[in-house]
Amino acid sequence: MISTEQAAYDSEREEVMTELFSRGEIPYWIPGGASTHPLGGLGYARFAFELAEQEQEMNVYFDTIILPCNGGSTLGGIISGFKLIEKTAASSNKGSRKQRKIIGVDAFSGPPGDETRILQIARTAATKIGLEESDIQECGVEIDMRWNAGASGFVDERTQEALKLMVSLEGILTDPVYTGKALARMIGKA
C-alpha cells in the first residue's frame, strides 16, 4: 500500500516530468537512492571486481566484508559481483577460497522485509552481469539489525564509542548515522 506522502511525491514527480516533456525536453528521472532503480546495484557489482584486483595486488583475501545498508543497492550489488567472481573462478579451475561472508549492517531501522528487497536487487544486478537469478540465494543476504541504534539518523553510545576509537587510532572520521553503525558492528564483532 502506498502512503499518502509517497502518493503526493509520485504525483509531484509526474507533474514535473509532464511539464518538461511539454516544453520539448527529454527528462530522465533518477530516483533518490539507487535501490529503486533497476541498474542500482551495478556499480557495486563492479566494486567487487575492483576489490578482488586489490586483493591480488596486496596478496590478501578479505573473507568478511561489513558494510552499512539502507536501501540495499550497495549490498545487493556487492553480493552479485562477488557471486560472479566466485562462479568465474570455479569454471576456470582457479580454485576457490573460503566463501566470502558479506554482512550488511542495518543503518535505517526500517520495516521488516529488507532481505527480500535486497535479494531482488542482487538478482536484478546478477542478470545484468551474466548470472542467472537462481545464482543468488536467499542465504547469501545477511543483514545485522542489532546496530541501527533504533532509528535512522539516531546515534547511540556504541556508535559514538566506535567513532572515537577510529579517530584516536587511525585519524579517520566517518559519518555517525550510516558508516558509523557498520564501524560499531565491526568493532563489536558480534
* pLDDT at position 68: 93
Q: Is the pLDDT of residue 50 over 80?
A: yes
Q: In this structure, are 120 and 168 located in the same domain?
A: yes
Residues 95 and 120 in one domain: yes
Q: Is residue 36 part of a domain?
A: no
- If asked whether residues 101 and 175 sit together in one domain, one would say yes
Identify the CA nearest to 103 among candidates 141, 52, 158. 141
- Provide the domain limits for residue 111: 41-188
Q: Global pTM?
A: 0.79
Compute and round to an integer the Cα radius of gyration of the chain. 19
Tell whether 12 and 53 lie within a shared domain: no
Instruction: Give dist(CA 148, CA 110) in Å, integer.
Output: 9
pLDDT in tens, 63-120: 999 999 988 899 999 999 999 999 998 777 665 567 899 999 998 876 666 788 899 9
Q: Cell for 132?
A: 542467472
Number of domains in the chain: 2
Mean pLDDT over all residues of the chain?
A: 87
Cell numbers for 179, please give them.
558508516
Q: Residue 1: what pLDDT?
A: 46
Tell me: the pLDDT tens digits for 4-44? 555 566 678 889 999 999 999 998 877 666 676 778 889 89
From CA 3, how far away is CA 42, in angstroms rounded?
29
Could you tell me if residue 35 is inside a domain? no
Helix, strand or coil, per DSSP, at residue 38: coil
- Rounded CA gap, 128 and 96, in Å? 23
Cα separation, 85 vs 82, in Å, equals 5
What does the pLDDT read at residue 185? 94
169-182 tens-digit pLDDT: 999 999 998 999 99
